[in-house]
Structure formats: C-alpha cells, structure tokens
Amino acid sequence: MRKRELDKFKKLLLIERQGLVAHLSELEGASETQLSQGGGDSVDLAALEITQAAIQKMGNREKNLLKKIEYTLDKIESGDYGTCERCGEKISPARLEARPVAQFCIDCKTELESNERRYSDKEEEDEEGWGEYEDAS
Ligand SMILES: [Zn+2]
C-alpha cells in the first residue's frame, strides 16, 4: 500500500480513536453521576441498573473497538496493514474504506463468521460500531 493511502487510514483511525476516548470518558462521567444520585426508592434503582447495564455494554463495545484501533495503528507502523491475517492476501481497498480496522479479507471474514454462527450464539459485535463516525469533511 502506498504511503499516502496508509496516511489516510492512519488519520481516519486516529480521529476515530479520539472520538471513542472522548465518548468513553463521557460515559464514565455519566455513570458516576448516576451512581452518586442513586438510592431512594426501588423503582429508580431498577431504572438505574438498566442504565448502568446499557452504559457498560456500550462502553465494552467501544473499548473493544479502541483496542482494535490500537492494534491496527501498530500494523500500519510495522507495515503489515491491509493484509489478511488468515490467508495473507491483500484486503480490498473498498473493504478497508468501509472498515479500516478489518483484519481479514472478505472471503476469510465470511468464512469465519459462518463458523462463529455455527459454534456459538454469542452476540455479533465485531462489525458494529464502525461507520457511525462517517468522515464529515
Ligand atoms: Zn483472507
């Protein structure tokens, strides 16, 4: 991949990381405020627990994405970016545009996903969370 393209993806990832870090600290702030205001009647407590769970879930998802971004930035630095980690083929530019943190080419990803679905019923969270921060420029 050309340096110009690498720089473009790096910039995208850095912007995304910045947004995530800011949002995560917001979430943590919201969570603390709610905890300190909590107490009192049980209806409020139940609502509080639901909100806490939602915040935690969103936070976990974003933390995962953050880890993935760090990992991807490392790959850019080491020159491994844009190569499928499973088969070693180049990942198509269109796929990287849509999802800069992609680790696998579309063929491998499709295969891995169908295996995952077969062997587990865990929630699909891998492909979520990217694309909400479309480049506004
Ligand atoms: Zn592959």
Which stretch of 27-31, 89-93, 101-105, 113-117 has the lowest confidence by average pLDDT?
A: 27-31
The residue extents of the domains of the chain are 1-81, 82-121
CA of 89 to the centre of ligand 1 (A): 6
CA of 9 to the centre of ligand 1 (A): 20
> Average per-residue pLDDT in the chain?
84
pLDDT at 16 exceeding the cut of 80: yes
Of residues 136 and 4, more confidence is placed in 4
Is the whole model's pTM more than 0.85, yes or no? no
CA of 80 to the centre of ligand 1 (A): 14
Residue 135 banded pLDDT, cuts 50, 70, 90 = very low
CA of 20 to the centre of ligand 1 (A): 28
CA of 94 to the centre of ligand 1 (A): 15
> pLDDT of 66-77, one tens digit each?
999 999 999 999
How far is it, in rounded angstroms, from Cα 27 to Cα 16?
A: 16
Helices 3-37 & 42-78 angle (0-180, nearest 10)? 160
1-81 folds as Four Helix Bundle (Hemerythrin (Met), subunit A) (1.20.120)
CA of 61 to the centre of ligand 1 (A): 24
Mean pLDDT of 75-103: 95
Mean pLDDT of 28-40: 70
Which residues, other chains included, contact 6 with Cβ-Cβ below 8 Å and sequence gap of 6+? 76, 81
How far is it, in rounded angstroms, from Cα 126 to Cα 43?
A: 34
Nearest 10 degrees: CA dihedral of 37, 41, 44, 45?
80
Q: How far is CA 87 from CA 2, 49, 68, 78, in A?
A: 21, 44, 19, 18
